[in-house]
Amino acid sequence: MEIDFDKMQGLVPAVIQDAGDGELLMVGFMNQTALEMTLRTGFVTFYSRTREKLWTKGETSGNRLKVVEARTDCDRDTMLFRVNVLGDGKVCHNGTRSCFTEKLPLASTPEATRPEQEKTQAETLKGTVR
């Protein structure tokens, strides 16, 4: 299967998800060599854009990412890896399990502050999605 590395100058985003609970852990980038190495070894390897070199996640911390499943999206320009986290489970360099810990403020709207209206909207959407 051909992955489209041309859209982002030789790189594709690699989304990392916990195979057990589905939690989104991190996003990195891969070039073709990193993808091939990941598929060959079974451990996630990224391409560091700042250091301009390959790095296998957990090579120094021990928090390696063992690939359980690898997928690509419909455009074949983004990868998804479902993994088991080895080591103490801290994937982020900040010492947390997930890199996605920073919440962004959302604009406050009357609809967002009224739970009964959210419930009505959800029921309406549920009826339209099939």
Which helix (H) or strand (E) segment holds residue 122: the answer is helix 115-128
pTM of the model: 0.80
Question: Tell me: the pLDDT tens digits for 101-111?
Answer: 999 999 986 66
Q: Which carries the bigger pLDDT value, residue 36 or residue 93?
A: 36
Q: What is the pLDDT of residue 108?
A: 81
Dist CA 85 CA 102 (whole Å): 21
**23-7-68 Cα angle (round to 5):** 30
- Give me the percent of the chain exceeding a pLDDT of 90: 78
Residues 6+ apart with CB under 8 A from 19: 68, 69, 82, 83, 84
| Cα radius of gyration rounded to whole Å, the chain | 18
30-47 per-position pLDDT tens digit: 999 999 999 999 999 999
**Is a pLDDT exceeding 80 seen at residue 52?**
yes
For the segment 49-75, the average pLDDT, to the nearest whole number, is: 95
Q: Where are the domains of the chain?
A: 12-85
Q: Tell me how far apart the alpha carbons of residues 44 and 59 are, in angstroms, rounded to a whole number.
A: 10
Considering the segment(s) 12-85 as one domain, its CATH architecture is Roll (3.10)
